[in-house]
Amino acid sequence: MNKIIDPAIPRHVAIIMDGNGRWALGRGLGRLFGHRKGVEAVRRTVDAARESGISYLTLFAFSSENWKRPADEVDGIMELIATFIHRELDNYHRQNMRFQMIGERSGLSAKILRALEVAEERTRNNTGLHVVVAVNYGSRAEIAGAARALAKKVAEGRLNPDDIDEAAIGEHLDTAGLPDPDLVIRTSGEQRLSNFLLWQTAYSELVFLPCNWPDFSREMFFEALSEYARRNRRFGALSAPQAALTDT
């Protein structure tokens, strides 16, 4: 795994890839065309992330709420995800990158589920950039699932309720074993998390960009990293200058 030494470089960047449909509609095109252009932005972003020295990149590809969209759009998005994985897997593997999916696997087609599982298994032992793709993912459902798993252990006598703490909950989330995101980027101008990694982003820095996802560039990615480096992350404590002022 890449070793992050400079604290100005985030270890984990998560991205809400929003605005594909709006990008297409603004050009008089179908929404699915926007999703196809969004795939190109994914390629640029993964390359930039690998070059930047971050260790983890999480991409919000399809939310559990996205099933409400028209069936042809949903089918097209799923086909794009499966095709992207199939085409990029050899390249990712050669570059020592690891692939992981988070989200609810039930409900996914056999084709896309197979593509995701093959990618996970083939790259499982790679130690470079760890790419996490959220598919059929919703954070509230994820947290509810963790609560059910813990309740079951208590009911079976395998867990003392007093031992349920933040760490125990974290171990039962889809992201168990992954560090929390240091930085969350969202495109399209929207300024909300939209049920994405709600537990994990408690102390993440948030950067909202006005561009739609197909226009997201490597330059924008690196500028977001620069913005992160300018932030003063205190995690509820005082910054160093403030602490010095109170040390009397």
Q: What's the pLDDT tens digit per position in 155-201?
A: 999 999 999 999 999 999 999 999 999 999 999 999 999 999 999 99
The label of the residue with tokens 């990694």 reads 197
pTM reported for the whole predicted model:
0.91
- The fourth-level CATH superfamily of domain 12-140+181-228 is Decaprenyl diphosphate synthase-like (3.40.1180.10)
Q: What's the pLDDT tens digit per position in 109-150?
A: 999 999 999 999 999 999 999 999 999 999 999 999 999 999
pLDDT at 160: 98
Mean pLDDT of the chain: 93
145 Cβ contact partners less than 8 Å away, ≥ 6 residues apart: 172
Count CA within 13 A, CB hemisphere, residue 16: 27
- Where in the sequence numbering do the catalytic residues fall? 18, 66
pLDDT at 81: 96
pLDDT at 233: 78
The reply to whether 107 sits in an annotated binding site is no
Domain segments of the chain as ranges: 12-140+181-228
The reply to whether 231 sits in an annotated binding site is no
pLDDT at 2 exceeding the cut of 60 = no
Q: Span 89-116, mean pLDDT? A: 95
pLDDT at 235: 66
Three-class secondary structure of residue 131 per DSSP? strand
pLDDT at 232: 86
pLDDT at 108: 94
pLDDT at 248 exceeding the cut of 60 = no
The reply to whether 186 sits in an annotated binding site is yes
Lowest mean pLDDT among 41-50, 76-85, 156-165, 229-238: 229-238
Angstrom distances, CA of residue 114 to CA of 15, 71, 101, 108: 24, 21, 12, 10
The reply to whether 64 sits in an annotated binding site is yes
Q: Which of 222, 229, 212 is nearest to 26 (CA)?
A: 212
Q: Which two tokens stand for residue 182?
A: 């240091």
The reply to whether 19 sits in an annotated binding site is yes
pLDDT at 243: 42
pLDDT at 245: 40
- Give the residue ranges of DSSP H helices in 95-135: 110-122
pLDDT at 33 exceeding the cut of 90 = yes
